């Protein structure tokens, strides 16, 4: 049993399940924040029945010590530290260390971590050639997952998930190289020369120079942009068992290597119901602007079930009160735009949309609030990051969370391959029909 499960089991009570005349006692585990979970691991072996829970709305796939969130109260903590405190006091690399290794780093540990990351920021020169093969209008998320998957072909020395040294070097390579892979995807899309990473710069500063510097002129890194970027990456860094993190765990559970697992996580994040919502949200705000800023029309459309349209950046599977990340981001967004005297009509539309929806019975009843993606795109726009790169930024932010969960899973002595069951509803047995008789 892993340490978290062991702790929870110590505090266990019993839940009773009645199937017909038979009563089954199931351990009721209690987490460190008093969350309760019924342990059904022996259910099928004892009763022959399985549980059915589409979308895993009620299903805990794991006992984890990485991130705690309480959707009813709007609480998010990485390794016990409130997101508000981390956002106010740390940079993204410090938070990454916390998530992956479990504790805030001491000064020398943090310095060693930063140095190690700097040493691994370049891509193998042959990898640059991949970019020649992608169409110029390829979506950068597709490039990101392809190139991350391809890291396993270049680093065959570090693919063994059971070897801690190989895992450690793969973690460093991934965090260090992901911004380089991402910035090259952007430069490719606009036909500009790629910028090598610069080891004299911090993580976010370096990313901005790789994204925006030109060989023809001096590029000045804007400290406001660096601050906003750090903050955005921190609030995206982990969110317990979300779709992409569960994907990374699922793929990793088969003992696939870390690069393959993370490439799969990037694909899961791409979807508009998950990480792709930031891009979809700005697209929606743009559309409202072009349509004469008629916010009410779009709120009505979102309520109309026959329409299929949803307010992007609104609603969350877990948060049913407010998303604490959205609160932090909205304030950063407001400050950044004010400080830089940026008058972005999209921000005004977003605020009006938020206010209209939050006062509308449909959204109140369903507890739908702006999520992390509602304002993040407005900040990315202010920094000059193109819309197609928004979800890529989310991936860079989420990477330490994926790594922390992958590592936690592999460090657990109770790790098993993830393999859900199903309830079969197809045809029962029937006889094969020859082709000429169908
Ligand atoms: N606009 C309008 N109605 C909505 C919205 C929305 N954005 N979100 C949910 N609803 C409605 C649903 O139609 C449903 O109504 P009903 O009960 O009358 O059928 C009800 O609210 C519950 O919605 P579900 O889809 O069942 O909630 P679920 O937990 O499965 O989905 C999700 C959560 C995917 C985030 C959903 O709210 C959504 O599609 N939001 C828009 C996309 C988005 O912003 N995604 C980013 C999520 S955050 C992240 O990944 C970082």
Residues with CB under 6 A from ligand 1: 55, 273-275, 277, 302, 310-317, 366, 368, 371-373
Residues belonging to the chain: 438
Residue 310 gets the label, from left (phi > 0), alpha (psi -120 to 50) or beta, of beta
Strand partners, 27: 14
What pLDDT is attached to residue 260?
A: 98
Q: Ligand 1 centre and the CA of 317: distance in Å?
A: 7
Q: Closest residue (by CA) to atom 8 of ligand 1?
A: 315
Mutate to test the pocket of ligand 1, among 315, 325, 368 (most ligand atoms within 8 A of CB): 315
* 18 SS3 class: strand
Identify the CA nearest to 84 among candidates 71, 96, 75, 72: 75
Q: Looking at 39, 91, 238, 373, which residue is catalytic?
A: 373
Q: Closest residue (by CA) to atom 29 of ligand 1?
A: 317
Question: Strand runs (DSSP E) across 265-340, as ranges?
Answer: none
Report CA dihedral (76, 81, 83, 87) to the nearest 10 degrees.
-170
CA 59, CA 379: separation in Å to the nearest integer? 34
Q: Ligand 1 centre and the CA of 314: distance in Å?
A: 7
Q: Ligand 1 centre and the CA of 357: distance in Å?
A: 13
Instruction: Quickly count helices (H) and strands (E) in the chain.
Output: 19, 6
Using the 8-state DSSP alphabet, how is residue 214 labeled? B
Q: Ligand 1 centre and the CA of 273: distance in Å?
A: 8
Residue 243 Cα: closest atom of ligand 1:
50
Using the 8-state DSSP alphabet, how is residue 102 labeled? S
Identify the CA nearest to 179 among candidates 210, 222, 223, 214: 210
What pLDDT is attached to residue 423?
A: 97
Contact present, 206 and 121 (Cβ < 8 Å): yes
Q: Closest residue (by CA) to atom 44 of ligand 1?
A: 313
**Is 124 one of the catalytic residues?**
no
Residue 281 Cα: closest atom of ligand 1:
44
Q: Ligand 1 centre and the CA of 367: distance in Å?
A: 10
Q: Closest residue (by CA) to atom 14 of ligand 1?
A: 366
* 155 SS3 class: coil
Q: Please give the distance of CA 36 from its chain centroid, rounded to a whole number.
A: 25
What pLDDT is attached to residue 362?
A: 96
Contact present, 296 and 290 (Cβ < 8 Å): no
Query: Largest Cα–Cα distance in the chain?
Result: 80
Using the 8-state DSSP alphabet, how is residue 162 labeled? T
What pLDDT is attached to residue 3?
A: 52
Contact present, 368 and 355 (Cβ < 8 Å): no
Q: Ligand 1 centre and the CA of 366: distance in Å?
A: 9
Residue 399 gets the label, from left (phi > 0), alpha (psi -120 to 50) or beta, of alpha
Residue 302 Cα: closest atom of ligand 1:
2
Residue 314 Cα: closest atom of ligand 1:
7
| Degrees, nearest 5: CA angle 333-338-341 | 120
Give the list of residues 6+ apart from residue 157 with CB closer than 8 angstroms, or none.
Answer: 166
pLDDT tens, residue order, the chain (438 aa): 455 555 555 555 899 999 999 899 999 999 999 999 999 999 999 999 999 999 999 999 999 999 999 988 999 999 999 999 999 999 999 999 999 999 999 999 999 999 999 999 999 999 999 999 999 999 999 999 999 999 999 999 999 999 999 999 999 999 999 999 999 999 999 999 999 999 999 999 999 999 999 999 999 999 999 999 999 999 999 999 999 999 999 999 999 999 999 999 999 999 989 998 888 899 999 999 999 989 999 999 999 999 889 999 999 988 888 889 999 998 898 888 888 888 888 888 988 999 999 999 999 999 999 988 888 988 999 899 999 999 999 999 999 999 999 999 999 999 999 999 999 999 999 999 999 999
Q: Ligand 1 centre and the CA of 365: distance in Å?
A: 13
Contact present, 278 and 391 (Cβ < 8 Å): yes
**Sign, CA torsion 16/3/319/278:** negative
Residue 316 Cα: closest atom of ligand 1:
35
Contact present, 369 and 313 (Cβ < 8 Å): no
Q: Looking at 139, 239, 274, 316, which residue is catalytic?
A: 316
CA 275, CA 213: separation in Å to the nearest integer? 27
Give the list of residues 6+ apart from residue 337 with CB closer than 8 angstroms, or none.
Answer: 343, 344, 347, 378, 382
CA 354, CA 297: separation in Å to the nearest integer? 14
| Degrees, nearest 5: CA angle 10-15-20 | 150
What pLDDT is attached to residue 106?
A: 98
Q: Closest residue (by CA) to atom 36 of ligand 1?
A: 315
Kindly report the number of other CB atoms within 10 A of residue 351's CB atom: 17
Residue 318 Cα: closest atom of ligand 1:
29
Strand order in the sheet with 22-30: 13-19, 22-30, 36-38
**Is 316 one of the catalytic residues?**
yes
């Amino acid at each position: 049993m892993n340490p978290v499960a062991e702790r929870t089991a110590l505090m266990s009570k019993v839940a009773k399940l009645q199937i017909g005349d038979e009563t089954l006692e199931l351990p009721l585990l209690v987490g460190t924040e008093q969350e309760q979970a019924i342990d059904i691991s022996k259910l099928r072996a004892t009763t022959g029945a399985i549980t059915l829970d589409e979308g895993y709305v009620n299903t805990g796939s794991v006992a984890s010590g990485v991130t705690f969130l309480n959707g009813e109260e709007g609480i998010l903590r990485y390794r016990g530290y409130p997101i508000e405190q981390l956002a106010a006091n740390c940079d993204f690399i410090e938070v990454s260390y916390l998530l992956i290794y479990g504790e805030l780093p001491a000064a020398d540990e943090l310095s060693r971590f930063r140095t190690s990351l700097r040493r691994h920021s370049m891509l193998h020169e042959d990898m640059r050639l991949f970019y020649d093969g992608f169409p110029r209008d390829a979506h950068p998320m597709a490039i990101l997952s392809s190139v991350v998957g391809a890291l396993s072909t270049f680093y065959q020395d570090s693919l063994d998930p059971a070897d801690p040294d190989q895992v450690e070097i793969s973690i460093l390579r991934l965090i260090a190289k992901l911004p380089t892979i991402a910035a090259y995807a952007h430069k490719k899309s606009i036909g500009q020369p790629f910028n090598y990473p610069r080891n004299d710069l911090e993580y976010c500063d370096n990313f901005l120079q790789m994204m925006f510097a030109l060989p023809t002129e001096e590029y000045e890194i804007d400290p406001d942009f660096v601050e906003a970027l750090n903050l955005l990456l921190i609030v995206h860094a982990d969110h317990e068992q979300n779709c992409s993190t569960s994907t990374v765990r699922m793929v990793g559970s088969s003992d696939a290597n870390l690069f393959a697992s993370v490439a799969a996580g990037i694909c899961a994040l791409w979807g508009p119901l998950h990480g792709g919502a930031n891009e979809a949200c700005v697209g929606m705000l743009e559309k409202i602007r072009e349509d004469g800023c008629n916010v009410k029309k779009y709120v009505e459309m979102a309520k109309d079930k026959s329409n299929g349209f949803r307010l992007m950046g609104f609603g969350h599977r877990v948060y049913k009160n407010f998303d604490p990340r959205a609160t932090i981001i909205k304030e950063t967004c407001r400050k950044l735009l004010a400080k830089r005297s940026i008058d972005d009509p999209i921000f005004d539309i977003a605020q009006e949309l938020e206010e209209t929806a939050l006062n509308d019975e449909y959204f109140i009843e369903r507890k739908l609030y702006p999520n992390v993606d509602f304002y993040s795109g407005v900040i990315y726009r202010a920094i000059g990051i193109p819309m197609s790169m928004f979800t890529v930024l989310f991936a860079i932010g989420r990477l330490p969370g994926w790594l922390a969960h992958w590592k936690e899973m592999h460090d657990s002595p109770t790790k098993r391959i993830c393999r859900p069951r199903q309830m079969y509803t197809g045809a029962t047995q029937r006889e094969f029909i020859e082709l000429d008789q169908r």
